[in-house]
Structure 1
Amino acid sequence: MRWKARLIKHHHTDRIAVEFERDAELIRRIKLLDDARWNPQKKYWHLPDTAENRERFKLIPKQDTEPSAEGQEHLVKFGRWLSAKRYSASTIDTYKQALRVFLVYYRKKEVGALTNADVLDFNNDYILKKNLSASYQNQVTNAIKLYFRTVLDTQIETDKIDRPKKPKTLPNVLSKEEVKNILEAHYNIKHKTMLCLIYSCGLRRSELLHLKPEDIDSQRNVVLIRQSKGRKDRITPLSAKVLDLLRQYYIAYRPQTWLFEGQRSGEQYSEQSLQRVLKLALEKAKVTKPVTLHWLRHSYATHLLESGTDLRYIQELLGHSSSRTTEIYTHVSMKSLQQIKSPFDDL
């Protein structure tokens, strides 16, 4: 186990403290959890004390955390199958942990005897009873469907397992004026260039940090994004203004391995440092909204749509596998909304 978790009190509130040695992947994953905070004095992350987080960090009795010997063999087999299919290490870990929860719940039953009724009971008597989130339920359901469809011949009919309905939320979008204020807040050329590149190319945080100097094609004015989400390569147009910033930055810093490096040459810039860059920009720009780096990506897509860019091109630029993912930006675009006249104005 790469981390240790324990229950704590933080400002008279029940929390879970998670400690681990510096690990960029673990830091990335814990930041995705709701209300995850870093305590710089005590050097640990802490999260709300919820049933889901207790499950996630195994803060339940030991005898309830391990599947049967048979179940453990199936987890090993699942991991080997995922590795052979070239899934990323983080995806493999996520799928295995999700399947483990299901196998732990039925640790007293033979895996080959499990049925669709058991899956239904698990969702009702475990997921819903513990008030775990729909996204967590979806994660476990995906793992169950993938494993029993591809690895094991059992009584479970995966095609008849339904995923939970996802809550429909809209992406957070900034106005062009807000984006401009944030991007112009930094005088440091490195910090300014990173934020400008995220917005101007619609990059994910990890995509920016994994860029290498050779990924910037100044002749064709494009950025090559290698092996991003879903192990896909894609290219995105490079703004002439951002290219000028990149040239200034390159002359000043001369990066070696990564386009943006930490304090030591060849060391990848950390996600935590990038978060601080954004936080400082928000303070300087006097933006009080809880902006994250992903808001810049959402804003890029929405602003493209409002300027008349075809949705199919936006899908390609963002690297979305499904057009339905990209279509969500039509719900936050102001271009069509502003043309609608309220009947109140005619009263």
Structure 2
Amino acid sequence: MMELWIGKRNDKELIVRLPYSEDGISRMRMLPSRRWEPSVGGWLIPYTLAVMEQLLSMFPNCALDADRALLEECGWLCDQLEERRVRDRASCTSIDFEQSKWGKDIETELTRQLRLRGYSQKTIRAYCGQVRRFYLFYESRREIGIADLVTGFSYSLLTLGKSPAHVNQAISAVKFYMEKVCAMTPSASAYIRPKKLKKLPNVLSTGEVIRLLDAVGNSKHRAILYLAYSSGLRVSEVVRLRLSDFDRERRTLLVRQAKGGKDRQTVLSDAAFEVVQYYVRVEKPGGGWLFPGVAAGRHLTERTVQKVFEQTLKKANIHKKVSVHSLRHSFATHLLEGGIDIRYIQKLLGHKDVATTQIYTHIAVKDVSRIQSPLDRMIEQKRE
């Protein structure tokens, strides 16, 4: 079945993506005011109800998918998506879990159900991997009753030393599969979630950040690390930047389709923008991406950025156990220490709940630095 994906580009245009086929192209060409845009890998159409209605009428039997940002503001599209979900459920037979084995057919159906609900490609890959491992666990333990199976799987992961976060993701993946793909009742996928560890993220001091940035020689790598820290970006957001996302006059940077499928704006540093301008002037990146990768038309991989960070860390002679994501943690912590309200930091980071942002209050030393240790006070009194 052909899949049709719709996303929001801005307040006036939508992005439409569908698998390549002569039939699909001929249908799209019947749509008024549409145009193919290579930089986004899809068709651009006007963001109007009339055009959306015409689009869906041209693809009546396609599986429909849309990004969450668009679904949150377009109730009509939500209704259309739900109607197609109901139709799809009525037209297909659910998988019998106890009689099934992991294979391409199951992976395809799981992927389809996840896409229909707006899950990101990264989450889809993770969920498919977790369900595949769940089947491997089940193959060797057929004697375990269905009611205890998920709990047994999560316990086996914990005994292998997997983190509570990894186990919780595995439970969520299996629960989704059993309920949405196998049509099993929630009680059949009973589980006990392990308690999350409350670890404080490691951050760099302002001095260490300067040393790190000064240690970068390559102009492309320099631009990447400058942006990651100065705008508080995730590595997945840095590699997907385009020059059109920069607004020098307003000193803002647009982060498109970030975690949760939402666009957000964050601060654009003057110093970082100068580094980016120099990189663009020297390297002249092409293919639509600010940081193109080796493969034509693809952006730089996240793993490449992680390696760049690790190498730069050694050059800067910094021995803390940190990753490139620590630059984002450092950005938030330094803002908090500088007196910026936590609500503003929440917006810049794109956190849905301020409780997520509040972890940085446990790291910031703005007030702690004013407190004198009782040992220092005792020594001062002794000297007196």
What TM-score results when the alignment is normalised by the length of structure 1?
A: 0.70
- Are positions 1:190 and 2:220 aligned together? yes
The Cα of 1:264 is off from its aligned counterpart by 8.0
Aligned equivalents of 2:160, 2:217: Cα separation in 1? 49
Matched, 1:337 2:368: yes
Matches within 5 A, 1:187-226: 187-226=217-256
Matched with 2:166 is 136
The answer for the alignment partner of 2:53 in structure 1 is none
Asked if the contact 2:146/2:189 (under 8 Å) is kept, the reply is no
Cα gap change, 1:295 to 1:133, in 2 (>3 Å): closer
State the shift of 1:346 in Å: 4.3
Question: Residues 251-303 of structure 1: CA distance to partner in whole angstroms, max 9, x if unpaired?
Answer: 22222211123468855334444334334433432223344211111110100
Q: Which among 288, 291, 298 is matched to residue 329 of structure 2? A: 298
Partner of 2:195, secondary structure, is coil
Counterparts of 1:18-167 in structure 2, within 5 Å, are 69-72=99-102, 76-107=108-139, 114-115=146-147, 117-124=148-155, 126-157=156-187, 161-167=191-197
Cα distance in structure 2, aligned partners of 1:132 and 1:265: 36
User: Are the structure 2 counterparts of residues 222 and 342 from structure 1 closer, same or farther at C-alpha, using a change threshold of 3 Å?
Assistant: same
State the secondary structure of the residue aligned to 2:328: helix
Corresponding letter in the other structure for 2:284: R
Q: 1:269 aligns with which of 300, 319, 325?
A: 300
Deviation at 1:230, TM superposition (A): 1.8
The alpha-carbon distance between structure 1 residues 196 and 122, as it changes in their structure 2 partners (threshold 3 A), is closer
The answer as to 2:290 corresponding to 1:259 is yes
Q: Is the 1:302–1:333 contact (alpha carbons within 8 Å) kept by the matching residues of 2?
A: yes
RMSD (Å), alpha carbons: 3.0
- Say whether residues 1:307 and 2:326 are aligned partners: no
Count of matched residue positions in the alignment of Structure 1 and Structure 2: 278
Q: Tell me the CA shift for residue 74 of structure 1.
A: 5.7
**Residue equivalent to 1:234:** 264
**Any idea what the Cα deviations from partners look like across 1:189-216, whole Å, max 9, x if unmatched?**
3332221111100111121111011111
Cα distance in 2 for residues equivalent to 1:231 and 1:118? 32
Q: Secondary structure of 1:236's match?
A: strand
Over the matched positions of the two proteins, sequence identity in percent amounts to 40
Distance 1:346 1:91 in 2: 52
Q: CA offsets per residue over residues 66-91 of structure 1, 9 Å max, x none?
A: x8642546655433211212322331
Separation in structure 1 between the aligned mates of residue 274 and residue 129 of structure 2, nearest angstrom: 45
Tell me the SS of whatever aligns to 2:257: strand
For residue 177 of structure 1, what is the amino acid of its counterpart? G
Q: SS in structure 2 opposite 1:235?
A: strand
Q: What secondary structure sits across from 2:266 in the alignment?
A: strand
Question: Could you say what secondary structure the match of 1:223 adopts?
Answer: strand
Structure 2 CA distance for partners of 1:224 and 1:97, relative to 1, 3 Å: same
Q: Which has the larger radius of gyration?
A: 2
Match of 2:357 among 303, 313, 326: 326
Aligned residue type for 2:333: T
- 243-252 or 292-301, which deviates more: 243-252
Map 1:166-181; keep pairs closer than 5 Å: 166-181=196-211
Amino acid at match of 2:221: H
Unaligned runs of 5+ in 2: 1-96, 379-384
* Amino acid corresponding to residue 267 of structure 2 in structure 1: P
Cα distance change on mapping 1:151 and 1:244 into 2, 3 Å: same
Kept after mapping to 1: 8 A contact 2:229/2:327: yes
Query: Displacement, 1:123?
Result: 3.6
Give 1:246 shift.
Answer: 2.2
Q: Distance in 1 between matches of 2:113 and 2:298?
A: 32
Q: For residue 315 of structure 1, report the CA deviation from its aligned partner.
A: 1.5
8 Å Cα contact 2:127-2:170 kept in structure 1: yes
